[in-house]
């Protein structure tokens, strides 16, 4: 008769043998099963784009070709719905914008300017003299000290008649180098200055530096001739100091257009010609981009008008059109160039989001033509981490951290 102990021992040996044959015997951890169709779905452009657009991806998976195709079609519809909704929202915004009065627009534009910029007074640079308006002459000593230091830094001679300054309630000085005059400048107030026609580039650079140090906007006066305006602009571009004490860039008013083919331009110092040519080329590129954008926006408006007109003729309005109908009508009327411009717009939104997540450095040009650096946002990060954490990985893989 087999004892109970012998039965237990036989069972133990059998168990050990089975464990060797199958490492998962007895409830061990099973190896992860790789679902190739699910991996293919997550690697698809549709899946990634849906994530970028904020689609809730819960429930999107595939375990076969049929399921994969079904999910891809569903994602395409989701993407179309979001883009369609975005287009209709833009159309609504455009209509609301057109209804606003010009006065309201101007008021809004003024309010949108940084408060620090609104507070700044202006240094008006002219070729004609303005009447002194300031009875407190302490500013004259401040200007004199500033320009003495400026002349010393530039290695030129500072010349000034202090007594004449006080009697005329103004500040006049000239700079000399190797016995040759570099021009003359006359301040009749801290905010109004006259510069002589024969002034050297260094005189204009002094004005730019004074505006920055005095926290003043710099205005290209109407009395300046083309040469003077070009010289002042060159001084702005060449000046080593380009920001106010708070780190913000210099604010310019009445900025002139620079004609690099004009006769006056050919007579400018070579250093001024070089920097102004580069500036003019950059401005031309900006203008072309702005013009292209305006053309594209006008094209979209025309297409939307056609869609509304056609819908009205059929007794419908655009909100009653299916998303597929509306999108098809829009795309049908677009040229390849229009479609590219539309895609560029979507790409710009994507880059802006990546910048807010701290993945890349990116800047945009606002309506006033100012360059605005997109700042990293903790709130945006927290929101994306909560809703679509995989989105951060997708954008990081696409753009590369720190690029």
Q: What are the residue ranges spanned by the domains of the chain? A: 116-256, 339-403
**One digit per residue, pLDDT tens: the chain, 403 residues?**
556 556 667 777 776 776 665 544 455 555 445 578 888 888 888 887 777 777 777 778 888 888 888 888 888 888 877 766 665 555 555 555 544 444 444 444 444 455 555 578 999 999 988 888 767 788 999 999 999 999 999 999 999 998 888 888 899 999 999 999 999 999 999 999 999 999 999 999 999 999 999 999 999 999 999 999 999 999 999 988 778 888 788 899 999 989 999 999 999 999 999 999 998 888 888 777 777 778 777 877 887 788 778 777 877 776 666 767 777 777 777 778 777 877 888 888 888 888 888 889 888 876 556 678 888 888 788 888 887 888 888 888 888 754 4
Strands (E), 178-334: 180-189, 192-195, 217-220, 252-253
Return the pLDDT at 84: 65
Return the pLDDT at 101: 44
Report residue 316 as tokens. Answer: 């419908």
Strand order in the sheet with 171-177: 157-160, 171-177, 180-189, 192-195, 122-126, 217-220, 252-253
Return the pLDDT at 89: 58
Q: Please give the Cα distance from 240 to 232 (Å, whole number).
A: 14
DSSP state of 257: P
Return the pLDDT at 34: 56
Return the pLDDT at 185: 96
Strands (E), 42-170: 122-126, 157-160
User: Hunting for tokens 């202006």 — which residue is that?
Assistant: 122
Report residue 60 as tokens. Answer: 């999107």
B/e letters for 73-102, b = 16+ CB within 10 Å, e = fewer, are eebeebbeebbbeebbeebeeeeeeeeeee
Return the pLDDT at 248: 81
**Cα–Cα distances in angstroms (integers) from residue 221 to residues 101, 215, 218, 224, 256, in the given order:** 31, 18, 9, 6, 10
Which DSSP helix (H) or strand (E) runs through 172? strand 171-177
Contact of 35 with 67, CB cutoff 8 Å: no
């Amino acid at each position: 008769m087999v004892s109970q102990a012998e039965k237990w021992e036989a069972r133990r040996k059998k168990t050990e043998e089975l464990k060797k044959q199958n490492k998962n015997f007895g409830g061990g951890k099973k190896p992860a099963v790789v679902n190739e169709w699910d991996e293919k779905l997550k690697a698809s452009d549709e899946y990634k784009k849906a994530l970028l657009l904020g689609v809730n991806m819960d429930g999107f998976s595939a375990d076969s070709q049929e399921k994969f195709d079904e999910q891809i079609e569903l994602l395409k519809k989701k993407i179309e719905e979001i883009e369609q909704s975005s287009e209709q929202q833009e159309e609504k915004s455009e209509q609301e914008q057109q209804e606003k009065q010009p006065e309201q627009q101007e008021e809004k534009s003024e309010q949108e300017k940084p408060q620090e910029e609104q507070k700044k007074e202006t240094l008006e640079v002219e070729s004609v003299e303005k009447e002194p308006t300031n009875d407190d002459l302490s500013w004259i000593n401040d200007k004199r000290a500033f320009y003495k230091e400026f002349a010393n830094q530039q290695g030129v001679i500072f010349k000034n008649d202090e007594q004449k300054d006080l009697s005329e309630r103004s500040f006049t000085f000239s700079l000399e180098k190797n016995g040759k005059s570099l021009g003359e400048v006359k301040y009749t107030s801290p905010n109004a200055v006259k510069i002589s026609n024969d002034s050297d580039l260094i005189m204009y650079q002094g004005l730019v530096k004074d505006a920055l140090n005095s926290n003043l906007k710099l205005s290209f006066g109407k009395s300046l001739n083309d040469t003077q305006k070009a010289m002042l602009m060159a001084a702005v571009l060449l000046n080593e100091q380009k920001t106010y004490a708070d780190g913000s860039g210099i604010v310019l008013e009445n900025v002139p257009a620079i004609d690099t083919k004009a006769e006056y331009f050919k007579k400018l110092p070579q250093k001024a010609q070089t920097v102004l040519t580069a500036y003019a080329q950059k401005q031309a590129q900006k203008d072309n981009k702005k013009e292209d954008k305006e053309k594209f926006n006008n094209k979209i408006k025309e297409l939307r008008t056609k869609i509304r007109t056609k819908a009205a003729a059929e007794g419908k309005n655009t909100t009653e059109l299916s998303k597929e109908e509306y999108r098809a009508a829009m795309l049908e009327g677009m040229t390849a160039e229009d479609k590219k411009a539309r895609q560029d717009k979507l790409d710009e939104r994507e880059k802006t989001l990546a910048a807010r997540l701290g993945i890349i450095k990116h800047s945009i040009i606002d309506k006033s033509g100012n360059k605005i650096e997109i700042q990293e946002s903790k709130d945006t990060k927290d929101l994306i981490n909560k809703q679509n954490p995989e989105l951060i990985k997708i954008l990081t893989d696409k753009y590369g951290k720190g690029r």
